[in-house]
Each structure stands twice: as structure tokens, then as C-alpha cells.
């Protein structure tokens, strides 16, 4: 399964690079080390009477994520102030843009805010394949989306590892107030 996702990711890297107006091999060169890519199998238990949060709203930190959900459904994407349910289908994969692409493109592409709702009375399974970058990778808005077009960078640069660790800490050591959770806006430059 990992090798299938990896093959698909290589195709998607090219498509996303071209959609951004970059050379088709841009992302594959940028992501020259695939050691941080990971496949996660997720098992959601049925919702309880007062809580149907499967996975709370978030953006994925890496480049992009390929999601496969079973026929139960529950994946939702936030758009125009609404939660849109993504209908499950055996033949459907969902690709979410992640924070790294948002930063590289200086917000031209937005990382998808999404969540998973737990089903009532049944279990749910999904798979997420995370296309990350290696920990030592420096992430900052590319000149093509800043100085070359007269735009100021919307983020300061950071090491992917640092951001990834902060995101892991959100889960392992959650802050008392939800507004203190670390998002990519942690690196925003306010002009
Ligand atoms: O289970 C799902 O459909 C979504 C999982 C997800 O968004 C994640 O693991 O980052
Ligand atoms: Fe996610």
C-alpha cells in the first residue's frame, strides 16, 4: 500500500508544482528525502451521546496528504464558513494541501482545514498518507511568490522539524486554552 501511495504522490507532486506555475520537478527536488513520509491507519470508535469529535479541526503540517476513508464517511472540509461532508466512495481518494505548500506559495494555495466526525453506532476506519519533508528542510515563502512579484513574505522561515515537534506537542501536551494551540500562523509575519 505504501508503494502505491508513494507512486501516486510522485504524480501529484508534479501536478501541484505545475498548478503553482513552478517547474514540474520542483516539489520532487524539494522533497528529495522521503524518509518522513508516513502512512497512518485510523480507527474511530462510535460517537458517545455527548461527543462525536473523531479528529478535531486541523490543517496537516506537511506538503499534502492523501486520505482514504471507508464507506461510513465522516471526513469534512471547512469552506466558506461551512463544514462540507466528503461523501465516501470505494474509488475515491481525497488530497489535502498541507501547511508547507501554503508557506512555500505564500498563501497562493491554502492548506485545507478538515476534521473527522465519529459515526453513530459503528466504527470507522481511514488511512492517511502524509507527504512530509525531511526534518532539516528549511521552509519559507519562495521568491516566485514574493520578491519576484513584489509581494512581501507572509511567513518567516523555519525548520520543518521544529514545526512538526510543536504540532506533536499540541497533542501530547495540549494547552489549557484551544487558542494557544500551535498553527502555521505561529510563523506569520504581520505587515
Ligand atoms: O480520518 C480522516 O478521515 C481524517 C484523518 C486526518 O485528517 C489526519 O489524520 O490528519
Ligand atoms: Fe488531517
- Asked if residue 123 belongs to a domain, the reply is yes
Average pLDDT over residues 8-19: 96
- Asked if residue 176 belongs to a domain, the reply is no
The model's pTM is 0.95
Report the residue among 126, 130, 171, 183 best suited for mutation to probe ligand 1: largest number of ligand atoms under 8 A from its CB: 126
- Asked if residue 68 belongs to a domain, the reply is yes
- Order of strands across the sheet that contains 124-131: 38-44, 124-131, 64-69, 94-97
- Asked if residue 105 belongs to a domain, the reply is yes
Q: Which helix (H) or strand (E) is 36 found in, with range?
A: none
Q: Residues 96, 67: contact at Cβ < 8 Å?
A: yes
Distance of CA 132 to the CA centre of its chain: 9
**Is the CB–ligand 1 distance for residue 12 below 6 Å?**
no
Q: Residues 187, 140: contact at Cβ < 8 Å?
A: no
Report the residue among 128, 168, 183 best suited for mutation to probe ligand 1: largest number of ligand atoms under 8 A from its CB: 128
Q: Tell the residue nearest (CA) to atom 10 of ligand 1.
A: 60
- Asked if residue 187 belongs to a domain, the reply is no
Whole-number Cα distances in Å, 182 to 133, 152, 188? 19, 23, 12
If one counts the domains in the chain, the total is 1
Average pLDDT over residues 40-54: 93
Q: Tell the residue nearest (CA) to atom 3 of ligand 1.
A: 75
CA 124 to ligand 1: nearest atom: 1
Look at 10 and 191; give whichever has higher pLDDT: 10
- pLDDT-derived band at 41 (thresholds 50, 70, 90) equals very high
- Asked if residue 52 belongs to a domain, the reply is yes
Contacts of 162 (CB under 8 A, 6+ apart): none
| ipTM, interface predicted TM-score of the complex | 0.99
Q: Which ligand is nearest to the CA of 67?
A: 1
Of 99, 106, 119, the C-alpha closest to 184 is 99
Average pLDDT over residues 117-124: 93
Whole-number Cα distances in Å, 129 to 37, 63, 64, 85, 191? 7, 11, 9, 20, 35
Count how many residues are written for the chain. Answer: 191
Distance 55 CA to ligand 1 centre (A): 7
- Residue pointed to by grid coordinates 488530497: 95
What the block records as the C-alpha cell of 87 is 461523501
CATH code assigned at 128: 2.60.120.330
- Asked if residue 31 belongs to a domain, the reply is yes
Q: Show the domain range for 34.
A: 2-133
Whole-number Cα distances in Å, 26 to 102, 140, 157? 15, 15, 18
CA 126 to ligand 1: nearest atom: 1
Inform me whether the pLDDT recorded for 191 exceeds 70.
no
Amino acid at each position: 500500500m505504501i508503494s502505491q501511495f508513494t507512486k501516486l504522490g510522485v504524480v501529484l507532486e508534479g501536478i501541484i508544482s505545475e498548478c503553482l506555475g513552478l517547474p514540474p520537478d520542483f516539489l520532487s527536488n524539494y522533497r528529495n528525502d522521503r524518509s518522513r513520509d508516513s502512512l497512518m491507519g485510523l480507527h474511530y470508535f462510535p460517537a458517545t451521546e455527548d461527543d462525536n469529535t473523531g479528529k478535531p479541526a486541523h490543517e496537516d503540517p506537511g506538503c499534502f496528504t492523501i486520505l482514504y476513508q471507508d464507506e461510513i464517511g465522516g471526513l469534512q472540509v471547512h469552506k466558506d464558513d461551512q463544514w462540507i461532508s466528503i461523501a465516501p466512495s470505494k474509488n475515491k481518494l481525497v488530497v489535502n494541501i498541507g501547511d508547507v505548500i501554503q508557506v512555500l506559495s505564500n498563501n497562493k494555495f491554502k492548506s485545507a482545514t478538515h476534521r473527522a466526525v465519529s459515526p453513530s453506532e459503528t466504527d470507522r476506519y481511514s488511512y492517511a498518507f502524509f507527504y512530509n519533508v525531511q526534518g532539516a528542510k528549511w521552509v519559507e515563502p519562495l521568491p516566485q511568490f514574493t520578491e519576484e512579484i513584489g509581494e512581501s513574505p507572509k511567513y518567516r522561515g523555519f525548520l520543518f522539524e521544529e514545526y512538526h515537534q510543536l504540532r506533536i506537542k499540541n497533542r501530547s501536551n495540549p494547552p489549557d486554552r484551544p487558542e494557544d494551540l500551535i498553527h502555521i500562523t505561529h510563523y506569520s509575519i504581520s505587515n
